[in-house]
Amino acid sequence: NPTNPEALLNPSLATETAPETFTVEFQVSRRGLFRANCHREWAPKGADRFYNLVRIGFYDDTYIFRSIRNFMMQFGISSDPQVANAWKSASITDDKNAGISNKKGYLTFAHAGPNTRTTQIFINFKDNAFLDRQSFTPLCQVTDMHTPLRVRITGEGAPQGPGPSQEQLQRLGGTYIKERYPDIDRIISARLL
């Protein structure tokens, strides 16, 4: 079960150092389970953030709002607008690339430029080495890609494509997805094993 739920509204309470290795199990609606084996040495700041987000239950009931065939799936905006707002600007600085590439099945923080990682993560559906030069630093490897590869493809988010708008999800929460995109898969829970 999540620890320290107060940290959902106060990112400064979620700052524990992650173990050198840890495993996270994700339960996905209608799709099953997958596990991610994480390595702090690959991306220490990213691993610490991810570990803490899982620990406090941040990824529970979050939607896979962006999934692009032969590229990746992305999630990590809270379904609760208050929680999403609390974390929106709680960015962490970039990790130096430890020589780990964005290979198929690797989990990586999304960002909007240098030093802007917050809560959104993605899983590569194929080798995406071109992302390595853009400071997308992997921190975990998904051990079984069967479930991630079965998620409903949404395409790029609005306004560029037919998928959900990240801005609307941030502002309106899960209600926006339930009303406009009822078939989108969601992360039911993410737990440390």
Q: Which residue has the higher pLDDT, 185 or 5?
A: 185
Distances (CA, A) of 112 to 89, 115, 116, 136, 150: 11, 8, 6, 10, 27
* pTM score of the predicted model: 0.96
Three-state SS at 175:
helix
The token pair at 182 is: 């009822």
The token pair at 150 is: 């079965």
Exposure on the CB side of residue 176, measured as CA atoms within 13 A: 20
First to last CA, the chain: 11
Phi-psi region of 180 (alpha: psi -120 to 50; beta: other; left: phi over 0): alpha
Q: Which residue has the higher pLDDT, 31 or 22?
A: 22
At 3-29, the pLDDT tens digits run 788 999 999 999 999 999 999 999 999
pLDDT at 41 over 90: yes
